[in-house]
Amino acid sequence: MPRRLIFQAHLWIGVATGLYIFVVCASGAALVFRIDMQRALYPDLFTPSAAGPVADPVAVMESVTSAYPGDRVSGVDAPTTFRPTYLAYSTSGNRFRTLLLDPVTATLLGELDDRSFIRDLQDLHFDLLGGRTGRLVNGIGAFCLVAMCLTGAVIWWPGRTNWRRSLKVDFTRQWKRVTWDLHSAAGFWSVAFILMWAVTGAYFAFPSGFRSAVNRISPITVTRAPQSSSRVGQSPAPTWREMVDQAQRHAPGQHVARVVLPFDDKAAFLVMFSSVRPAPPGADLTSVYLDQYTGALLAEAAPSARTAGDVIMTWVAPLHVGNFAGNGVRVVWLVLGLAPPVLFVTGFTIGGRGWCDRAGCAPQRAAAISDSSAE
C-alpha cells in the first residue's frame, strides 16, 4: 500500500476514534493507581486500628458471617504490600459485597460502595458505561488502536538522515513545530506499549476469540481444578478452621494469602500460600486443594511443559493493568498510558498541512507520506 494511503488511513482512523482513545487510555492510566485512590477516598476501610500480629483468615470469615448471617462467604484475601487490610467477599442472592476487615482484630471496617467514582471509572474504561454493548464497542476500538499503531509506525520513518531528530522534541522552535516533534517522539517511544495495551484490551472484550487465536499460534494447556467427591454417606464436613489447618500441613512455613470457599457441590476448598507476608502483587502462590466434605488433599494434574500460548495467557491481564511488580512499573504504566491522549491532542492540533509547512516540519511530513523509499 503506498505510504500516502497509509498516512490517510492513519489520519482518518485517528479522527474517527481519537476522542474514544483519549477517554479509554486516560481512564486506564488513572486506574493503575486504583488501590491508592480507594485508600484516599475510603481511609477508614484501609487503615488498621492498631499494630500487632495478623489475624488468621478463619477469624476474618467468621467475622463476615457474624456481620452478615444471611450471606454466603466466597473467600478472603490477606493484606498485601498495597492493601494493609483484609479483603473478603460475600453474596446474598444477587447482592455481592466487597468487605474490608481489620488485619489485627478481624473486625469489619466496612463495605465498598456498589457505585462510586472508582467503580464508574472502571465501567468507563472497560464498558464505556454501556454494559456488554459498551464492551463490544471497546473491543472494536482496540482493533482501531492496533491499526493506528501499525500505520503510525510506517509513516513515522523520516529517512536515514533525519530519524534521530524524530526521537526528541526541540522546545526552542515554534510551537507548531514543537507540536509536530512531540507527536513524532511520543509515538516512537510509546508505540510498543500502546500496541500491547490494544492487543491485551481486545482479550477483555473477546476472551473466547482471543484464546482461540492464541491457541492457533501455540496450544493452550487446559487444566481443570480438582473436584470434591460426592457427599452421599459421608460424615459432617470439616470446619473452616480444620480445613485451613489441614492445608497448612501441606505448605509448612508459608503464610495464608487467600482462601476460596467452594462455589458449588463439586468445587474444592482452596487455600493459597505465600512465602512472604505481606505478599506483593503478582506473587507466585502455592495452591492446596482439599475435598470440601472430607478435608482430604486433592491431587492436581501433573504439570506439563508450559507452551508459548500458556505464557501469553498468563501475562495478558498483568501486562494490561501493570500489577506484576512494584510502584516503578505502575509509574511507567501511568506515564506511557497518557501517551495516546497526548498523541490525540497533538495529532488533532497538527490538522491541515499549511501551518505545518510554515512551521518548518514540511520535510519530515513529506518524508512520512512519500511513496518512495529512497532513504
Q: Does 45 reside within a domain?
A: no
Instruction: Check whether residue 58 and residue 94 sit in a common domain.
Output: yes
Instruction: Check whether residue 82 and residue 62 sit in a common domain.
Output: yes
Residue 272 C-alpha cell reads as 493459597
Asked if 200 and 207 touch (Cβ cutoff 8 Å), the reply is: no
Q: Does 374 reside within a domain?
A: no
Instruction: Check whether residue 126 and residue 31 sit in a common domain.
Output: yes
Q: Does 225 reside within a domain?
A: no
Instruction: Check whether residue 282 and residue 336 sit in a common domain.
Output: no
Instruction: Check whether residue 89 and residue 210 sit in a common domain.
Output: no
Instruction: Check whether residue 211 and residue 123 sit in a common domain.
Output: yes
**Full domain range(s) for residue 98:** 51-111
Instruction: Check whether residue 176 and residue 136 sit in a common domain.
Output: yes
The last residue of one of the domains, among 91, 111, 131, is 111
* Residue where the block lists cell 487446559: 222
Instruction: Check whether residue 28 and residue 133 sit in a common domain.
Output: yes
The H-assigned helical ranges of the chain are 3-31, 34-41, 57-67, 117-127, 131-156, 175-205, 207-217, 240-249, 308-321, 327-337, 339-350, 353-359, 362-369
Instruction: Check whether residue 78 and residue 168 sit in a common domain.
Output: no
Cβ neighbours, 10 Å, residue 255: 16
Query: Rounded distance, CA 163 to CA 168, Å?
Result: 10
Q: Does 364 reside within a domain?
A: yes
**Which strands make up the sheet holding 86-92, listed edge to edge?**
108-111, 95-101, 86-92, 72-77, 255-260, 269-274, 286-290
Instruction: Check whether residue 184 and residue 321 sit in a common domain.
Output: yes
* pLDDT recorded at residue 335: 94
Q: Does 210 reside within a domain?
A: yes
Instruction: Check whether residue 123 and residue 267 sit in a common domain.
Output: no
For the chain, how many structural domains are there in total? 3
Instruction: Check whether residue 140 and residue 177 sit in a common domain.
Output: yes
pLDDT along the chain (375 residues), means of 10: 80 89 95 92 92 93 96 96 95 93 96 89 95 95 95 84 81 86 92 96 96 95 86 79 96 95 94 93 89 92 84 94 88 94 88 47 47 39
Residue 71 C-alpha cell reads as 450471606
Q: Which helix (H) or strand (E) segment is 63 a member of?
A: helix 57-67
The last residue of one of the domains, among 111, 137, 156, is 111
Q: Does 141 reside within a domain?
A: yes
